[in-house]
Amino acid sequence: MTDTAIIILAAGSASRFGSAKQLFRFGNKTLIQHVIDEAIAAKAGVVIVVTGAHADEVSKNINQEVQIIFNEQWKEGMASGIAAGVNKSIALNNHVNKIIIAVCDQPFISADLFKQLVAKQHETGRPIIACAYADTLGTPVLFTQKYFHALMGLQGDEGAKKILKSNPEDVATISFPRGNIDIDTIEDYKKLLDSQKHVL
């Protein structure tokens, strides 16, 4: 995966959560650290964390050598973070021809999932590989160079899903059954912790 960059979006203010949810713990590490560790374990060529709100707090709690960039336009919405991450990926490694967009509040992201995205792209030749869960498509999602310009052209709160919807013929999918589990509110977080107690 040396030709693949993984961009982890961690810039949001988590207004529905009430604080920096990136730093809430799941298992023995924070949500953001979990995704970083899995990206590194997948042996991505570049791993970038895009910060915004809570930038200082998030950055000082990251324990790995990854590229951290502060998105000054984070208040404008997710699109600015995606654009910042794509630009940085290209600047850091001109051999990058695939980018995976990930978020920090899906606690069941794994290195194997990242590898599956790349394997599916090799298998199908499709320029977009998305995760399928709960009757929708979403992150993590892989884009080849064909869509780098489109990613940098997103505006405001537009996420990568806009590109998926506009180009269905270019999309292949992998299954991520627990991808619908994300942490938007304190209630989501409590449900996650409770579910793990039952597992244990």
Tell me what pLDDT residue 190 has.
74
Tell me what pLDDT residue 199 has.
43
Tokens of 173: 């999918």
Of 7, 142, 2, the C-alpha closest to 66 is 7
Tell me what pLDDT residue 184 has.
66
CATH 3.90.550.10 fits 4-199, yes or no: yes
Domain boundaries, the chain: 4-199
The segments of the chain whose pLDDT lies below 70 read 13-20, 183-186, 188-189, 192-193, 195-200
* Alpha carbons 9 and 103: distance in angstroms, whole number: 5
Three-class secondary structure assignment of 114-177:
HHHHHHHHHHHCCCEEEEEECCEEEEEEEEEHHHHHHHHCCCCCCCCHHHHHHCHHHEEEEECC
DSSP string, 178-196: TTT----SHHHHHHHHHHH
Asked whether the beta carbons of 38 and 111 are under 8 A apart, the reply is: yes
Tell me what pLDDT residue 189 has.
67
Tell me what pLDDT residue 67 has.
94
Tens-digit pLDDT profile for residues 162-178: 999 999 999 999 999 98
Tens-digit pLDDT profile for residues 8-30: 999 876 555 455 678 777 778 88
Tell me what pLDDT residue 200 has.
42
